[in-house]
Amino acid sequence: MNAPQPTASPTSPLQAKARRKRALVLLASVVGVGAVAFGLYDWLVASHYEHTDNAYVQGNIVQITPQTGGTVMAIAADDTDFVRAGSTLVQLDPADARVALSQAEAQLAQAVRQARTLYANNETLAAQVRLRQADATRAQADIDRAQAEVARAQDDARRRQQLASAGAVSQEEMQHAQTQLTAARTQLAAAQAALGAAQAGVAAAREQLTSNRSLTQGVEVQQHPSVLAAAGKLREAWLASRRTQLLAPVDGYVARRSVQLGQRVAAGSPLMAIVPLKEVWVDANFKENQLRNLRLGQAATLTADLYGKKVQYRGTVAGMGVGTGAAFALLPAQNATGNWIKVVQRVPVRIALDAAQVAEHPLRVGLSMNVEVNTRQQDGPSLAEAPRREPLASTRVFEQLEDGAEAEVSRIVEANLAKS
């Protein structure tokens, strides 16, 4: 037979109560230690960080627009293509631009020849002045001879008058002397009139010379205003002929292509866009109560949903928005109503990214980001205090369009200055 099992002694109520008390004390101790640890963590660590998942990648979207109208003949880049700065994106029909350039070249040549005519007229008009002065000199000499003839005729008539009173000459001789005196006076009057006409001719010729010299004085043919104006028109036509090729202003990726072959485009109409992904940044939208500790220059850690937490980006607070998103919305909120409900507003904060990291792990415009800003360092300003010293963005692609225009102007000017 089996031996009877010993029965367990029942636990006394006092022992159970003691065990419960010890468990409650232990639980309270654990909760207390956890609360203290969380408080210390929040005070020493968490309070120095601001976090938001309302952040998105932003970048420059460079619109490609023609500077002159025309018909699309070729498209050299499509969406998602990578292009280099200066490469051709769209080719417009250059026929109209070539015709305008030819007309501008002809107008410049004509302006040079007309200016040469003005300079040549200076010598012609100066010769006219000298000719008129010679006419005036001859007229003065004729007056001198006529005055001498009048004086001689007056003396002759006076002698004959004295002789006639004594009966020494006849009345016929007396009348003949008077006739000669009248003829001499008539010649004198004619000579004086000729001198007046000659002097008027001299004045007119000098006026014409002065007027012509005012159009040429102080400048050479190459610097004549009409030549400069025609040269400016030629440069304008030269630029228009070069602008039939639409060039990429920056390195980047093509997006939003809307242009099609054969399309007639107008100046300023958007054809496509280029996004330089090496120059992206993050706009993090922080709540109002998160802004009190944010300062420019603070370090930030970012992760993208595209790569997950295994890729962390280093960033820096580069700027803070001057208004909330709602303030700049197309339809701003109107809160002057009876059923108004307060909504916590958000302000965009720009986070600049490390260029090397962006090149290693490219981002796309519009991607979601998680941003955590270390706010321990608070000696920086909350808003920019000085203007930029360097341009935000620049390109030298379009400076090359004018290359060759000056050489073409010089060639046409020199060709039409050559003596025939």
Closest by CA to 255, choosing from 267, 273, 282, is: 273
Local structure of 370: helix, strand or coil: strand
Beta carbons of 222 and 413 less than 8 angstroms apart: yes
Query: What sign results for the dihedral spanned by CA atoms 20, 22, 27, 28?
Result: positive
Residue 298 burial (CB count, 10 A): 21
Dist CA 42 CA 48 (whole Å): 8
pLDDT in tens, the chain (420 residues): 455 555 545 557 777 777 777 888 788 888 887 877 767 655 655 567 899 999 999 999 999 999 999 999 999 999 999 999 999 999 999 999 999 999 999 999 998 888 887 777 767 767 777 777 777 777 777 777 777 777 777 776 676 666 666 656 566 666 776 777 777 778 777 777 777 777 777 777 677 666 656 666 767 778 888 888 999 999 999 999 999 999 999 999 999 999 999 999 999 999 999 999 999 999 999 998 889 889 999 999 999 999 998 999 999 999 999 988 778 777 777 766 667 778 888 999 999 999 999 999 999 999 999 999 998 888 889 888 888 888 888 888 888 888 888 899 989 988 888 664
* pTM reported for the whole predicted model: 0.70
Domain ranges of the chain: 97-235
CATH of domain 97-235: 1.10.287
Reading the block at residue 29, the tokens are 């101790």
